[in-house]
Structure 1
């Protein structure tokens, strides 16, 4: 029987070779799930989100029953962490919501026009701390406890042989303002005061790039972690913007952060929700084998293969609705076709974004089985 260390080394080797577009013994398969794991293990969501250790144990126990999984994206759950990046309140099960209702990000106009001037005069991080503490009323002690717990959770999974798909993170800076202002108000700002919005984003980008460089240096000290930065955007696809606005307010910042990570010796995983089909050609700007395109099932895979196949790794993209509504045979057949389409190279099999809360366990197992042959 293989040890946790030997499994970890095997999974990491398979994963990194796949990212580099090299042939491997089989397609790696990743679990991206949190609420699904709670339902799988019979744990109430209200308990799951209020106890870090319970959420870690629940995800671990669920993943260990799904088959020969290479790794997983989540090893604990605290939905309040969304507030940091999205500048929004989060409703929680057991508090604002019923015990088994999924947590919800509440999009509202939390940022106002005057905040743009404050960011320009005081800087992003100075503004952010005051905003989170005094306007969103976040519990900083609870958030600190989450950050302190993260290494312990990661070690539990690592000891069992599961890899984490990324080791560093920088989201697209536009998301802060897009969510904080609300999408409709943000897009209005792009037309009414584009220069001011760009100036604000430049301030945020400069500070977050500096933090990213420090983060990458810290990660380099741990040789066991995959040198991969998680980036991308949950609603930065150009389907939300005109092409000129997209290039100016989305792609420019996304590309700069990616270039910084690549120059530091990291690969970059783009977590890109929504439809990026008409944007795919922009991704040819990055060196072959340097990035991973993580799709949620909406971007056209045929177009991806035509433009980026053999050049960029693809992660995904078993659709959420399939994991909920299809039969295990349908899921298995979809996954085996996906593996065949990529000719066994440059594909990390996974769900399209997060596995839904109400996904069928047998369907998730079918996805894993398609990759492992077990």
Structure 2
């Protein structure tokens, strides 16, 4: 089965997180959407139908018969069963939106299907960035069962205090922890390969720690939190997702937020997740070019890839930060910080493109990864089209 994950209309509403990736490469739960579908179908034959400027890095593998899936629709058993029984030429629709199809690339692009089937959809649909942290706890539980079924967990040091059901803790090879408290009463805890939890950390499930990531000494981590691969977390976090390769290593609070890749939050960076008047939080929507209602009382920050904050930065409730922004001026930054901002204020100048490359190269080099020409082209496209 050749699976192609396609960007639906959600792509524009999921900016700034999708400036640098297709929807399928977003992380929620333990896995990215693409990783989840690979496990579900037990295949490596997964590719992307995405924006043209992203397609050189996130390539399309076309065959005579393809299964197209909109990854913004989170799977459940009924949906998976229906997909596996989808016949060639058929397409699934939910509330008049295309969810999946089995056909040729040409017919898919022409919206030419032999049969259009309306389906009921009982799982959750990711439409906006804040949906990622809203449903993250459920996604962690789903992924935990998917990944650990039939497998045996490694063990941790006997200095670790486990509260709750030990079977809801899964430890991959090379993961270590000392003198930490892990509480699984409200959800599972998953520790990825070669991850580390340092002394004095207190963690409540549901929680996922990615490959090679670290929880620093004395950290307080509340449920619904995912720390993607090769990241560091310290201080206090609650219901956040770090997509990967980013650091929030020091004291300070971040809650109900999504942080992209290659970001760094300076010491004592704090992000408010509740308005003083307890009102519904509005966040910036790039497609509509205005702030829209989130339906949430708790919503912190959405930060695009390669953005950084200086020490003691204070983010307002519902702040949206673009790509490669450098935030360091005094006072509260505005609720929308443009991509490539040099300072973080609305009147701040733009970060020069070559300097943005240099910072990205230095940041990625620390993880042993090079900034590729494909990455540069993506950053250049964003620089030229989304300022």
**Structure with the bigger percentage of strand:** 2
Question: Which interval holds the TM-score relative to the shorter structure?
Answer: under 0.3
Higher normalized contact order (CA 8 Å, seq sep 6+, divided by chain length)? 1
